[in-house]
Amino acid sequence: MRILALFAISVLILSSCKSAIRIIDKPIVYDQERKLLTLEYLEQRYGIKANSPKITPKMIVLHWTVIPTLQKSFEAFENATLPNWRPDIKTVSGLNVSSQFMVDRDGTVYRLLPETIMARHVIGLNHCAIGVENVGGDIGQPLTKAQLKSNIWLVRYLSNKYDIDYLIGHYEYTLFENHPLWLEKDSGYRTVKTDPGADFMEKVRKAVDDLNFKLLPKS
Ligand SMILES: [Zn+2]
């Protein structure tokens, strides 16, 4: 009887672990303005003229927000336009930054945009990349074990659904400058990134080794 009870408890624990991660929709503003700015971004930065800002996912890009809370991280992406955007400066897109997913410190996974709508999170590659932002990161607030677990889960979920070739950390994006997927027209438009840290990427990659993503281009 005792053994049976123990068995029942362990089955319960195992099954609850399995179903512990799920996606919660927490949409940022996706209105006509954001749609038009996204279409403009696709055309101006990549030369893609489209009627819909849909992407064909080929890559997953992992990030950290540095912003310490979910609420503040969400607020940074929520509005359609960049804060302090001046529409009179035509050379700079007013489209706010965002990502399709955000993972809270406790590992909760939020979907901020439909998975195949373009988000502005990685120069040169937004037309083919799904972004996963992790709340926090950097010195003083390293990404948590729960976030690691959820990122691994999310990479598997997305790879099952789409034809994903590459998994990268944001800091690796410039390796793609000479790759056919790279479409940014301005060779001077680059930012230096360190997120989400080499250590975090190593752990995620190790856990999803069986998915056989392609090797990154050499620098
Ligand atoms: Zn980033």
Contact call for residues 102 and 133 (beta carbons, < 8 A): yes
CATH class as words, domain 3-209? alpha beta
194 Cα–ligand 1 center, Å: 8
Q: What is the pLDDT of residue 193?
A: 94
* Spatial distance between the Cα atoms of 69 and 110, rounded to a whole number of angstroms: 13
11 Cα–ligand 1 center, Å: 39
56 Cα–ligand 1 center, Å: 20
H/E segment holding residue 103: strand 101-103
Q: 171 pLDDT band (50/70/90 cuts)?
A: very high
Q: 189 pLDDT band (50/70/90 cuts)?
A: confident
2 Cα–ligand 1 center, Å: 51
97 Cα–ligand 1 center, Å: 10
Neighbours of 12 (CB within 10 A): 10
Q: 179 pLDDT band (50/70/90 cuts)?
A: very high
Examine the pLDDT at 8 and tell me if it is beyond 70: no
Of the listed ranges 55-69, 88-102, 156-170, 204-218, the least confidently predicted one is: 88-102
170 Cα–ligand 1 center, Å: 5
13 Cα–ligand 1 center, Å: 35
For residue 54, what are the contacts with CB-CB under 8 A and spacing of at least 6?
116, 117, 118
195 Cα–ligand 1 center, Å: 5
36 Cα–ligand 1 center, Å: 23
* Spatial distance between the Cα atoms of 100 and 138, rounded to a whole number of angstroms: 21
Query: In this predicted model, which residue has the larger pLDDT, 91 or 68?
Result: 68
Q: What is the pLDDT of residue 199?
A: 97
Percent of the chain exceeding pLDDT 70 equals 88
Q: How far apart are the first and last CA of the chain?
A: 62
51 Cα–ligand 1 center, Å: 27
77 Cα–ligand 1 center, Å: 12
**Tokens describing residue 72:** 């503040």
- The single-letter code of the amino acid at 19 is S
Contact call for residues 112 and 26 (beta carbons, < 8 A): yes
Beta bridge partners of 60: 130, 167
9 Cα–ligand 1 center, Å: 41
Q: What is the pLDDT of residue 66?
A: 95
* Spatial distance between the Cα atoms of 173 and 25, rounded to a whole number of angstroms: 27
What DSSP state is assigned to residue 80?
A: S
* Spatial distance between the Cα atoms of 125 and 76, rounded to a whole number of angstroms: 21
28 Cα–ligand 1 center, Å: 18
